[in-house]
Structure 1
Amino acid sequence: MRWGTLCGVAAGALWGLVFVVPLLLPDYPAPLLAFGRYLAFGLIAMPLAWWDRTALAQLHRADWLQALRLAAIGSITFYLLLTSAIQLAGVPLPTLIASGALPVAIAVASNLRAGRAALPWGQLFPSLGLILGGIALVNHHELQALQHSSASQLQDYGLGIGLALVAMLCWTWYPIRNADWLRAHPGVSSRTWATAQGLVTLPMALVGFAISWLWLQQDGLGFTTPLGPRPWEFVCGMFAAGLVGSWLGALCWNAACQHLPTTMSGQLIVCETLSALAYGFALRQQFPPTETVAGIALLVAGVLWALHSRGTQSPQAAPAAPAVRTPQHTATHPPH
C-alpha cells in the first residue's frame, strides 16, 4: 500500500510538469509545444514497436484508424488546447477545468450514454456543486487580479477558459472511447495499444511541427531554426513533457495500479492537479491566496466525494470516472 501510494503521488507530480511547460517557454507558440512534445513521444515509441512487433502485426486497419483518432484528439488536440489555455489564462483555472474536474466529467458523460450508469445523479450532483464552487472561487480571484488589465488581456483570459473547456471535452471523450476499445479487444495488451498510439502520433506530430515552424518563419519571431530562439530550453522542455511527463509518469501510475485498489488509485489522480497548481504558483513566486486555496479544496472534495460514491456502489454498477480513466493512462502512454 505504501509503495503503491508513493508511485501514485510520483505519477501525479510527473504529469503536473506538462502543465507548466507553456509557462517556461512563453515565447514558443502552443502548436510548436504540442507537436514538439508528441514528436518526442512518438520517437520513444519506435524502439518499443520493435519489442512489440509481433502483437502490432495482428492489429487490423480499423484498429489503426481508431488509434489514429484517439491520438489525434486525446493527445495532440488536447495538449494544443491546454498549452494555449495556459499561455492565455495562466495555470490555476485551466488546470482545475481541464484536469481537476475530469473524473466527474467522465462520470457525467457516462451517465448520459445510453445503457450506462456510472453514478446515480443524486450522488453526482453534490460533487458537481463542490467542483463548480471551487472553479468559481478560483475564477473570481483571477478576475480580481485582472481588474486593472486591458480589454485585450481580459479577452485573452476568456479565450483561455474556453479552450480549457474544450480540452476537458477531449479528455472526457478519450478515456471512455479508449476503455471501450480495450474491453472489446481483451487479447490486446495495454502495452501494445500504447505503442500503436505512439506510432500513429509520430507522423502527425512531425508534419504538424514542420508546418508550424514554416508558418512561424513568416512572422519574424526569431524562429530561424526548427528549435526556435532558445533551442536548449526547448529540447529540455520537450524531453520532460514527452519522456518524463508521459513515459515515466505512466510507469509510476502502472505500479500504483498494481498495488492499490482501483478506488484508492483513482483518488490519487488528484495529485496531478495539485502538482500542476503547485508548480504554477512556484513559477509565480507566490503562495496561493486564501480564495484560491478554498477553491482548490472544494474541487478536491468534490472529486473525492464522487470517488467515494463510486466505491459504495454495488459490484453490478458500471465503473465511474476513475475506473474509466485508469486504462486511459495505462494505454495512452508507453508501458513499463
Structure 2
Amino acid sequence: MLIGFLCALGAGLMWGLVFVAPLMLADYPGVVLSFGRYVGFGLIALVPAFFDRERIARLTRADWSAAFKLALVGNILYYAALATAIQLADAPLPAMLIGTLPVVISICSNWSPGHPSEAVAWKRLAPSLIIIFMGLMLVNASELRHLDGRRPLSDYALGCIITVGAVAAWTWYPIMNARHLKLHPHIRSSTWATAQGLATLPLAVIGFIGYGVYVYFSGSDYAFPLGPRPLPFIGLMLVLGLCASWLGTLLWNRASQHLPTSLAGQLIVFETLSALLYAFILRGKMPDMQILVGIALLCMGVMLGIRTFRAVRTA
C-alpha cells in the first residue's frame, strides 16, 4: 500500500500540470491543447516502445482494444473537455467540479468493484469521503472568488456542462484501467502506459488533422497547426506528453495494481492539491486560511481512507 500511495502521489503531481497549461496558452483552443498533448504523448511513447518491444509484441488484440478505448475516453475526450471548459468558464469553476472526482470515483468503484474483495462497507467508507468532500468544497469555494466575472452566463453554464462530461470520462477511465490491470497482472505498468501512448497517437493525429480541416473551411483566423506561439506550444505539449501523460500514466498504473480502486479514487485529491500548488506559484501568492483548512481536511480524509482500507485488508 505504501508503494501504491507514493505512486498515486507522483501521478497527482504530474497531472496537476494540466490545469495550468490552458492558462499559459489561453489563445489556443482546448481541442488543440488536447490533441497537441496526446500527439506529444504518442511520440514520446515510441522511445520506451522500442526498448520494451518484446512485451509490447505480447499484448493481445483484447489488450489493444482496451488501450484504444482508454486512450479515447480517458485521454482525448477528457482533456479536450477539461481544457475547453477552463477556457469557457475560467479555471476555478471547472476545477471545483473536477475536484469531486475522488469522491465520485470512490463511490462508483465501491458500488461496482472489479472484485468482491475490494468492496468496503459504506459505513466504513463514508467518513473519509465526507471529510474529503468538505475539504474540496472549502478549497473550491475559496477559489471561486478568482472568477473574473467578465464572461457571459452562457459561457459559465456551457463550461459546467462540458466539465460534467469530463468528470464522467475520468470516472470511467480509472475504474476500467484498474480492472484490466488486475485481470492481467503480467502486464507491467510501464508497458501499459506505453501501449496507451501508442494507442493515443493515431487518435490524436486524426483529431489534429480534422481540426485543421475545420479551420480551413470555417475561415477561422487560428494559425493552424502550431498557433500564434509555436515554440511555447511545442515545448509545453512535450512536457505534458512526457510528465502528465506517460509518466503520470505509468505511476497511476502502478498505484492501480497495488491499491483497491475505491482507495485509489480518493488519492486523486493529490491532483487537486498539485493543481492548487502550481496555480499559486503562477500567481506568486500564498493560499488563504480557508484553503489551508481545506487542504488539511483533504489530507485527513486521505489518511483516514488509507487506515480504513488497511484495516479491511488486514482483516
Q: State if a TM-score over 0.5 links the two structures.
A: yes
Mapping for residues 16-165 of structure 1, pairs under 5 Å: 16-98=16-98, 100-113=99-112, 116=116, 117-143=118-144, 146=147, 149=149, 152-165=151-164
The 1:145–1:25 alpha-carbon spacing in structure 2 relative to 1, beyond 3 Å, is closer
Alignment partner of 1:186 is 2:185: yes
Contact 2:178 2:253 survives alignment (8 Å): no
Structure-2 separation of matches of 1:129 and 1:65: 36
SS, match of residue 176 in structure 2: helix
Cα distance in structure 1, aligned partners of 2:296 and 2:104? 18
Pairwise CA distance, 1:78: 1.4
Residue 96 of structure 1 contacts residue 273 of structure 1 at CA under 8 Å; is this kept in 2? no
Q: How well do the aligned residues superpose, as a CA RMSD in angstroms?
A: 3.5
What per-residue deviation string (whole Å, max 9, x for no partner) do you get for residues 34-87 of structure 1? 010000111112233233333333333232211110111111111112212322
Instruction: Give the 3 Å change call, closer, same or farther, for CA 314–248 of structure 1 in structure 2.
Output: closer
| Partner deviation per Cα, 1:173-232 (whole Å, 9 max, x = no partner) | 212211221222233333332222211111000011111233234556543341001101
Task: Assess if the C-alpha contact under 8 Å between 1:133 and 1:295 holds in 2.
Answer: yes
User: Which whole-Å deviations, capped at 9, do the CAs of 1:261-288 have from their partners, x for residues lacking one?
Assistant: 869x968754432221121233334433
Cα distance 1:12–1:313, how it changes in 2: closer, same or farther (>3 A)?
Answer: same
Instruction: State how 1:130-279 maps to structure 2 within 5 Å.
Output: 130-143=131-144, 146=147, 149=149, 152-218=151-217, 222-249=221-248, 270-279=269-278
**Distance in 1 of aligned mates of 2:20 and 2:59:** 36
Displacement after TM superposition at 1:26 (Å): 0.5
TM-score calculated relative to the size of structure 2: 0.81
Amino acid at match of 2:127: P
Distance 2:18 2:188 in 1: 26
> Which secondary structure state, in structure 1, belongs to the residue aligned with residue 312 of structure 2?
coil
Shift of the alpha carbon at 1:132? 3.1
Q: Percent identity?
A: 47
Mean alpha-carbon deviation: is it higher for 19-28 or for 183-192? 183-192
State the alpha-carbon separation in 2 of the partners of residues 293 and 216 from structure 1: 44
Cα distance in 1 between the residues matched to 2:138 and 2:238: 34
- Looking at structure 2, the residues matched to 312 and 210 of structure 1 have their Cα atoms a distance apart, in angstroms, of 51
Most deviating of 236-245 and 36-45? 236-245
The Cα offsets for residues 16-39 of structure 1, whole Å up to 9 and x where unpaired, read as 212210110001011000010000
Could you tell me how far apart the structure 2 residues matched to 1:197 and 1:9 are? 21
Q: Given residue 124 of structure 1, which amino acid in structure 2 is its aligned partner?
A: L
Q: Separation in 2 of the partners of 1:254 and 1:110? A: 16
CA contact 1:19–1:276 (8 Å) conserved in 2: yes
- Alpha-carbon distance in structure 2 between the residues aligned to 1:81 and 1:234: 19
Mapped partners of 2:93, 2:298: distance in 1: 11
Please, which runs of 5 or more residues in structure 1 have no aligned partner? 317-336
Matched, 1:302 2:301: yes
The whole-number CA distance in structure 2 between the counterparts of 1:83 and 1:90 is 10
Equivalent pairs, count? 308
CA distance in structure 1 between the aligned counterparts of 2:149 and 2:243, rounded to whole angstroms: 36
Match of 1:327 in 2: none
Contact 2:101 2:268 in 1 (8 A): no
Distance 1:315 1:3, change over 3 A: closer
Is contact 1:92-1:138 (8 Å) kept? no
Distance 2:107 2:241 in 1: 30
CA contact under 8 A between 1:101 and 1:299: conserved in structure 2?
no
- State the distance in 1 between where 2:4 and 2:170 align: 25
CA distance in 2, matches of 1:113, 1:65: 22
